[in-house]
Amino acid sequence: MTTHPTRTALRLLFDFVGAIEVFNLSSIDTLNPVSPQAAAITRLFLGVLVILAVIFVLVSGLVVYAIVRYRERPGSSMPRQLAGSRKLEFLWTAVPIGLLATVFVFTAKTMRAANPKKGTRPADLLVVGHQWWWEVKYLKSGVITANEIHLPVGKAVLIQLEAADVIHDFWVPQLGRKIDAIPGHTNYLWLRADRPGVYSGICAEFCGTEHAWMRFEVVVQSPEEFTAWEQAQLKIPQPPSEPEALAGMKLFNELTCVNCHRLAGTRANQTAGPDLTHLAQRRMLAGGAAVNNPQTLAEWLKDPDRIKPGSNMPNFHLSDAQVRALVAYLETTK
Ligand SMILES: [Cu+2]
């Protein structure tokens, strides 16, 4: 895609704002599309922006001209007055109608391009919005993960979108349109990325206290890398042999973690919280509120509110030793 000067200027501004907001994570970028759907939306935005800019320059130019040209000067008289002009009336009715019609046609075309029909094909991926994280399930392979969607490059994937509690909204600006996740109603969305990379996604519908930390990432990989990832996700972790991790596994089973989470190979099989099977492989924690590493994981278990105030993960008031054991365990299930 060639870089447009408007696009570059706007991207600099957006990146600046984005950098303040999402330190450490890939930025929200609406002007750098990597799918045909997102490209159509960007084109519409830039097209309308150009029309608006021309109108703005024209109108403010005429206002400035009138102010300067017809200002009161010593000895000046009233300029010629126009009372009623069919020609002008016609012009300023026809021009806006023409512009609106143009924008309408552009918009209708964009809607078609940005929202391809679902057809009769079964969905590839189930994505469920929860307060405040995303459950992700690959319907063919059975892989379950959270807040991170892996896709093979260039392949269109059909997402079935649902919500577990309130309305959320699934949005990956570089890959396409926004679409609501509604309790009791299923929506469908095609997702495709034409360039490998990591693309940020957010919840775009206010859904409660931690709405702002309901981010996710789309990791686009070569077909081989994607298959390798999928195979690795399907591996069921073996119980650890190392004593600290073993103690962690015991705690995990005793502290009711199993009532909310899923961890393949254990009796934990719930979806009130994110799947933890291969948590250590994921890039971020708690919907992007922290980068995922053993240290932030320990902070999270010690006091979830310090990372994400108001989240639905309880504070178990664990001792440091308990936290270390749980972290050791969750790191071995990689
Ligand atoms: Cu949400």
In the DSSP assignment, the letter for residue 269 is B
What is d(CA 149, CA 145) in angstroms, rounded to the nearest whole number?
Answer: 8
Q: What is the pTM of this model?
A: 0.85
> What's the 157 CA to ligand 1 centre distance in angstroms?
22
Which domains does the chain possess? 5-69+85-114 (1.10.287), 125-232 (2.60.40.420), 243-332 (2.60.40.420)
For ligand 1, the distance from its centroid to the CA atom of residue 170, given in whole angstroms, is 8
pLDDT digits (tens, 9 = 90+) for 48-107: 999 999 999 999 999 999 999 888 888 888 888 888 899 999 999 999 999 999 999 999
Tell me the CA–centroid distance for residue 191 and ligand 1, in Å. Answer: 19
Give the C-alpha separation, 19 to 8, whole Å: 16
CA distance 32 to 7: 8
SS3 content of the chain, % helix, strand, coil (to 5): 45, 20, 40
Describe the strand order of the beta sheet including 148-152 as a list of residue ranges.
148-152, 216-221, 197-203, 168-171, 179-181
Using one digit for the tens of pLDDT, what is the confidence trace for 151-197?
A: 999 999 999 999 999 999 999 999 999 999 999 999 999 999 999 99
Residues, beta carbon < 5 Å, ion ligand 1: 168, 203, 207, 214
Q: Based on the number of CB atoms within 10 Å of its own CB, is 287 exposed (0-12), middle (13-18) or buried (19 or more)?
A: buried
